[in-house]
Amino acid sequence: MTKTGNPCFGAKSLTSAQKKNRLIVHLLNATVREPGEVQVLGQCNIKIRKDFLKPRTPIQFWPARKRLKIEDESEYWQVVAPKTRIHEIVVFE
């Protein structure tokens, strides 16, 4: 799994857990230094190798629930995650 396309690339950390045919991706904003001081980060492209995960429906799970578009990119599936204020969760089910 990779993340690309964000000018604040180093400011997002990516973790994932795969369980029961579900992939959970957490995007964490590492720029938060003081309470109330948050630099909102731009969209993040999440690319997942096709041999790692079959196409599924990506859903922004937190902070708001909405379906995200998945694109076929040769050897990868790509999803554009929304802007990250503090924490975003994207679930592939």
Q: What is the pLDDT of residue 7?
A: 41
What's the token pair of residue 34? Answer: 């003081």
Q: 88: pLDDT confidence band, cut at 50, 70 and 90?
A: confident
Residue 64 to residues 11, 22, 88, Cα–Cα distance (Å): 21, 19, 9
Q: What is the pLDDT of residue 89?
A: 85
What's the token pair of residue 47? Answer: 């690319």
pLDDT tens digit sequence for 29-59: 777 777 777 788 888 888 888 888 776 788 8
Q: What is the pLDDT of residue 11?
A: 39
Q: What is the pLDDT of residue 67?
A: 92
Determine the average pLDDT of the residues in 73-84.
87
Q: Which domains does the chain have, with CATH numbers?
A: 2-92 (2.60.40.1180)
